[in-house]
Amino acid sequence: MLSLEKLDELLLNNGIFPNNYFSINNIILYTDCVVSVTAQKFILQIPIEYKLMVPRDQSEYKIFNLKPFLFHINDQQVDVVNKYKTDSFDELDYKNMYGNESMSNDANSLLNIYKSNDISTQLMRNYNFNIDSNMVHKDDIQDVRDIYQQLNRLKYCMDSLYIKPCIVYKNFLCIIDLVDSTDKNKSNTKYFKVNAPIEVFNPSCSRQFLLTCHIENFYENVNDISTELLRVKTHMNRIIETNYVKNFTDFNTIIEYNNKKESKINKVINYKNQIIEQIKKYEQVHTNIINNERHWLKKQYTLEKEISRIGDIDTFNATGYYKNEKLHSEIKLVNEKLDKIDIDKSDIILNIVKLTECQDALMLGLDKICFDNLVMINSINKNFDILENQMLNFEQIF
* Per-residue CA distances from 334 to 40, 88, 310, 338, 353 (Å): 97, 70, 19, 6, 28
Looking at the fold, whether 141 and 272 belong to one and the same domain comes out as: no
Looking at the fold, whether 229 and 366 belong to one and the same domain comes out as: no
The pairing of beta strand 16-24 with beta strand 61-65: parallel
Whether residue 121 lies inside any domain: the answer is: no
Looking at the fold, whether 289 and 188 belong to one and the same domain comes out as: no
The ranges of the chain with pLDDT < 70 are: 1, 67-135, 181, 184-185, 205, 260-262, 311-324, 396-398
- The per-residue pLDDT for range 291-343, each reduced to its tens digit, is 999 999 998 888 888 777 776 545 545 444 455 677 778 888 999 999 999 99
Of 29, 34, 61, 60, the closest CA to residue 45 belongs to 29
- pLDDT at res. 372: 81
Looking at the fold, whether 213 and 354 belong to one and the same domain comes out as: no
Looking at the fold, whether 139 and 271 belong to one and the same domain comes out as: no
- The per-residue pLDDT for range 224-278, each reduced to its tens digit, is 999 999 999 999 999 988 888 898 888 888 878 777 666 777 888 888 999 999 9
213 membership: H or E segment, kind and range: strand 207-214
Q: Which residues contact 209 (CB under 8 A, 6 or more apart)?
A: 154, 165, 166, 167, 236, 240
Looking at the fold, whether 152 and 243 belong to one and the same domain comes out as: yes
pTM of the model: 0.61
Looking at the fold, whether 35 and 167 belong to one and the same domain comes out as: yes
Whether residue 83 lies inside any domain: the answer is: no
- Number of domains observed in the structure of the chain: 2
Whether residue 301 lies inside any domain: the answer is: yes
DSSP structure class, residue 26: T
Q: Are 180 and 133 in contact (CB under 8 A)?
A: no
Distance CA 14, CA 223 (A): 8
Q: Are 60 and 22 in contact (CB under 8 A)?
A: yes
Looking at 258, 279, 297, the residue that finishes a domain is 258
Structural domain harbouring 58: 4-74+133-258
Looking at the fold, whether 207 and 253 belong to one and the same domain comes out as: yes
Q: Are 162 and 154 in contact (CB under 8 A)?
A: no
Looking at the fold, whether 155 and 30 belong to one and the same domain comes out as: yes
Whether residue 96 lies inside any domain: the answer is: no
Residues in the chain: 398
Q: Are 28 and 46 in contact (CB under 8 A)?
A: yes
Looking at the fold, whether 195 and 314 belong to one and the same domain comes out as: no
Looking at the fold, whether 160 and 27 belong to one and the same domain comes out as: yes
20 membership: H or E segment, kind and range: strand 16-24
Whether residue 342 lies inside any domain: the answer is: yes
CB count within 10 Å of CB 165 equals: 25
Task: Name beta bridge partners: 163.
Answer: 213
Looking at the fold, whether 193 and 310 belong to one and the same domain comes out as: no
* Per-residue CA distances from 174 to 124, 144, 149, 207, 231 (Å): 38, 9, 10, 11, 22
**Torsions phi, psi of 207, nearest 5?**
-80, 130
Whether residue 310 lies inside any domain: the answer is: yes
Looking at 224, 258, 292, the residue that finishes a domain is 258
Whether residue 43 lies inside any domain: the answer is: yes
User: How many angstroms from the chain centroid is the CA of residue 395?
Assistant: 33
Looking at 198, 227, 258, the residue that finishes a domain is 258
Whether residue 88 lies inside any domain: the answer is: no
DSSP for 144-199 reads HHHHHHHHHHHGGGGTTSSEEEEEEETTEEEEEEEEETTEEEEEEEEEEEESS-HH
- pLDDT at res. 304: 82
Sign of the torsion formed by the C-alpha atoms of 286, 287, 288 and 291? positive
